[in-house]
């Protein structure tokens, strides 16, 4: 799927005005909100993939266990690393907001690239897979919230969301998009760090 989530569930009539929202720092937001993402699914970090279950499995279970066609869920295996990354990026985001630290800003901006690039020293396929899963879940939660607020999502990727405003005139569409952005930014869970 290469990091793209495509949602084209309904035919959008051409006479409605469409809009596009750029998504910033989705990887960092997904990492920082991983506990809340688990809770939104009806689970918690203690029983979801953010919990380290490896210590409770026997050798036979580790050898024979298949999750989604792979040996032992990669997400379980990198629980400690995800917690370390979450704490590090929580501190970086705090530095950006309170101290306007430009180096912290550059670290946050480049985080996803460093984790996903096979030539990077931070690359770990299991961490990349876990982060991609979190990003997809956060995108789906964002799409669900937008649809709850009245938008019809046409396309969603890790970089942008294209949606129909369900409005015929430009002033009403602009007003709708502004109110949608205000509502999303007031939700701390869906707040995307730009």
Percent of the chain with pLDDT over 90: 53
Name the one residue in this structure whose structure tokens are 């730009």: 194
pTM here is: 0.77
Task: With respect to residue 192, please indicate whether it lies within any of the assigned structural domains.
Answer: no
Task: With respect to residue 96, please indicate whether it lies within any of the assigned structural domains.
Answer: yes
In angstroms, the CA 72 to CA 77 distance is 8
Task: With respect to residue 191, please indicate whether it lies within any of the assigned structural domains.
Answer: no
Mean pLDDT (whole number) for 145-161: 93
Task: With respect to residue 194, please indicate whether it lies within any of the assigned structural domains.
Answer: no
Closest CA to 127 of 118, 115, 110, 114: 115
The count of domains in the chain is 1
> What is the per-residue pLDDT for 116?
92
Task: With respect to residue 29, please indicate whether it lies within any of the assigned structural domains.
Answer: yes
Three-state DSSP class for residue 185? helix
137 near 143, Cβ under 8 Å? no
Structural domain that includes position 77? 4-186
């Amino acid at each position: 799927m290469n990091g793209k989530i495509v949602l084209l569930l309904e035919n959008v009539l051409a006479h409605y005005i469409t809009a596009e929202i750029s998504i910033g720092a989705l990887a960092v937001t997904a990492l920082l909100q991983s506990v809340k993402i688990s809770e939104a699914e009806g689970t918690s970090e203690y029983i979801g993939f953010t919990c380290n279950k490896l210590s409770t499995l026997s050798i036979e279970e580790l050898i024979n266990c298949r999750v989604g066609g792979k040996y032992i869920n990669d997400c379980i295996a990198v629980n400690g690393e995800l917690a370390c990354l979450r704490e590090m990026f929580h501190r970086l985001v705090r530095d950006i907001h309170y101290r306007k630290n430009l180096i912290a800003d550059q670290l946050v901006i480049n985080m996803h690239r460093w984790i996903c690039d096979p030539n990077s020293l931070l690359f770990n396929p299991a961490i990349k897979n876990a982060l991609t899963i979190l990003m997809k879940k956060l995108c789906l939660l964002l799409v669900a919230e937008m649809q709850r607020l009245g938008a019809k999502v046409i396309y969603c990727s890790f970089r942008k969301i294209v949606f129909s405003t369900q409005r015929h005139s430009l002033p009403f569409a602009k007003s709708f998009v502004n109110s949608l952005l205000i509502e999303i930014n007031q939700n701390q869970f869906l707040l995307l760090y730009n």
